[in-house]
Amino acid sequence: MSCAALALALGSTSVLAGAPALSDLAQRWQGAWVIHDTDYPGSVQAWAVQGSSVDVYDPRSGQDRRERFTLVSPCRLVRTQYNGSGEAETVSTNTFAFAPDGLHVAPAQSAGGLKRGNLITACTGDNVYTFDTQSGQCGSGTPG
């Protein structure tokens, strides 16, 4: 998706940089969350995020596990589960958005975004787009 396409989708013809800092979003993630549909459709999990780790409990399977928790963009996170020897066993990538009705987490192929003041940030794939609703300026790039 180009900035022009994003701007058209947002009802304007122009788009700026300035996505929220990952450290600010990481702080917002701290604590307990009930997450729906992350590992499979209909799944409900309890996540407890502390620093760079997340405890995941899935009541349907009864599985309780600790994973590494990393934000890779303003709308995307990576969870890494390690085996007994410390090697990465499972890597899960999810798109997320903080909305007025709560936190939404989706599979990686889903687009996500957030609005903070005049700035709208949208993530599609590995790209991050920003749109300033006041100035009408657009920016794009890849995180990292």
Find how far residue 39's CA is from the centre of its chain.
Answer: 15
The rounded radius of gyration (Å) of the Cα atoms in the chain is 16
Instruction: Report the alpha-carbon distance of residue 14 to residue 138 in Å, rounded.
Output: 6
pLDDT at residue 19 tops 90: no
Averaged pLDDT for residues 96-104 = 82
Instruction: Report the alpha-carbon distance of residue 14 to residue 68 in Å, rounded.
Output: 38
Domain ranges across the chain:
3-141
Look at 42 and 9; give whichever has higher pLDDT. 42
Averaged pLDDT for residues 14-19 = 42
Question: Which pTM was predicted?
Answer: 0.72
pLDDT digits (tens, 9 = 90+) for 50-81: 999 999 999 998 989 999 999 988 888 999 98
Q: Report the pLDDT value the prediction gives residue 120, as an integer from 0 to 100.
A: 84
pLDDT digits (tens, 9 = 90+) for 82-99: 877 777 688 888 888 887
Contact 57, 70 (CB under 8 A): no
Q: Please list, in sequence order, all residues whose beta carbon lies within 8 angstroms of the beta carbon of residue 56, skipping any fewer than 6 positions away.
A: 45, 46, 47, 63, 64, 65, 66, 67, 79
Q: Report the pLDDT value the prediction gives residue 88, as an integer from 0 to 100.
A: 67
Q: What is the pLDDT of the chain when averaged over all its residues?
A: 80
Averaged pLDDT for residues 105-112 = 82
Q: Report the pLDDT value the prediction gives residue 64, as an integer from 0 to 100.
A: 92
